[in-house]
Amino acid sequence: MSVGENSLPPEPADALAAVVALRRLADQLEAAAVEQAMRAGWSWPQVSEALGVTRQAVHKKHAKRLIAAGVKLRRRGDERV
């Protein structure tokens, strides 16, 4: 997919609404992807590095939800070598 000059929707309302919808989709994708990674045994530092955000940010955004969903989270010190 490319969003070059040519493919920007001609109507500003459509272009702006697309931004809103993409953010929503990205949030959903992030939630699913983080859950998948944590279920597969990834650690917070690994997930945060992959997402390019701080560990605090990713933890704050997802920890409670994952704990509530019964995902077993690796703690610091559990790192496998």
Partner 1 sequence: MSAFDKYLHGVIVRAMEEAQDDGSATIDAHHLLLSLAADQGSTAQQVLASVGLDRAAVREALDRECEHSLSMVGVSPAAYDLPGPSHASQQPKMGASARLALERSFASARKKDLRSAHLLLGILQAHIGTVPRALALAGIDQAELADRVRQTLIGQEQ
- Contact set with partner 1 (CB under 8 A): 1-3, 7-9, 13-15, 17-18, 20-22, 24-25, 27-29, 31-32, 35, 60-66, 68-69, 71
Least distance to partner 1 from the beta carbon of 7, Å?
6
Using DSSP's 3-state secondary structure scheme, residue 68 falls into helix
Nearer to partner 1, 3 or 53 (CB): 3
List the structure tokens of 32.
Answer: 């699913």
**Of residues 13, 15, 62, the one with CA closest to residue 35:** 62
Q: Minimal distance in Å, beta carbon 58 to partner 1?
A: 12
* Cα gap 35→60, rounded to integer Å: 14
